[in-house]
């Protein structure tokens, strides 16, 4: 009888230990996932900051370069496309992130063309409001780059954790999927070149 009770006690202790072990790894994955989601939120905030600057920037340039309507339309269209893409931070897929990245890249290109236009208008370059918008946009581009790097770092930590044995067992049971990364593009290792003070021609 005592042996039976002793064996049952051992099984109960093993079960408790297994539950505690699994709970610790589950909670670790949850914390890592939340860090990824927080980093993604910062990415979106910085891109939104840039989007919020664009209408004022376009209107300021319009005041001096009324004949550049096609350029203005492309910037506004690219902005609308970029801001229309919404991603659920708890379920980011590679396809969604690629689409988001491509739309933001198109907006970056459109902004670059707008800045090239400004080079042809000395009075515009001397405008204090335009100068302030330039500075804000430059700072935002740097923050975007930093936010992207931080997101990739958090995603890497999470993905490494979920693949590591024995945590991968818990990840598989509870459906903790892999997180995608911002893929490297030309110039992705540094802030996009938005040189407001000198000519953009090569």
Please give the full DSSP string across 123-153, using - where no structure is assigned.
Answer: HHHT-HHHHHHHHHHHHHHHHHHHHHHHHHH
Output phi, psi for 8, to 5 deg: -65, -40
Whose CA is closest to 104, among 40, 50, 53, 180? 50
Q: At 88, list the tokens.
A: 């659920």
Instruction: Give the pLDDT of residue 199.
Output: 35
Tell me the pTM. 0.83
Going from the N-terminus, what domains does the chain have, and what CATH number goes with each?
A: 11-174 (1.20.1440.20)
Instruction: Give the pLDDT of residue 192.
Output: 41
Instruction: Give the pLDDT of residue 137.
Output: 93
Residues 6 or more apart whose Cβ sits within 8 Å of residue 147: 39, 42, 43, 45, 46
What is the full per-residue pLDDT of the chain (202 aa) written as tens digits? 555 567 677 778 777 767 777 788 899 999 999 999 999 999 999 999 999 999 999 999 999 988 889 999 999 999 999 999 999 988 899 999 999 999 999 999 999 999 888 888 989 988 999 999 989 999 999 999 999 999 999 999 999 999 999 999 999 999 999 999 998 654 444 434 444 343 333 3
CB atoms within 10 A of CB 140: 20
Instruction: Give the pLDDT of residue 197.
Output: 40
């Amino acid at each position: 009888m005592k042996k039976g009770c002793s064996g049952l006690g051992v099984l109960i202790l093993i079960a408790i230990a297994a539950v505690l072990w699994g709970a610790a790894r589950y909670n670790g994955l949850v914390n890592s996932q939340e860090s990824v989601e927080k980093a993604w939120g910062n990415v979106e905030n910085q891109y939104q900051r840039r989007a919020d600057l664009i209408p004022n920037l376009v209107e300021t340039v319009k005041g001096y370069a009324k004949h550049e309507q096609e350029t203005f339309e492309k910037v506004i269209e690219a902005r609308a496309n970029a801001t229309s893409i919404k991603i659920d931070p708890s379920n980011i897929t590679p396809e969604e992130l690629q689409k988001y990245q491509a739309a933001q890249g198109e907006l970056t290109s459109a902004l670059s063309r707008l800045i090239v236009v400004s080079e042809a208008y000395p009075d515009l370059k001397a405008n204090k409001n335009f100068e302030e918008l330039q500075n804000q946009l430059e700072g935002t581009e740097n923050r975007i780059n930093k936010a992207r790097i931080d997101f990739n770092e958090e995603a890497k930590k999470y993905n490494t954790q979920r693949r590591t044995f024995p945590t991968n067992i818990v990840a598989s049971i509870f459906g903790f999927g892999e997180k995608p990364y911002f893929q490297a593009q030309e110039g992705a290792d540094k802030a996009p070149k938005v040189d407001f003070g000198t000519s953009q021609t090569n």
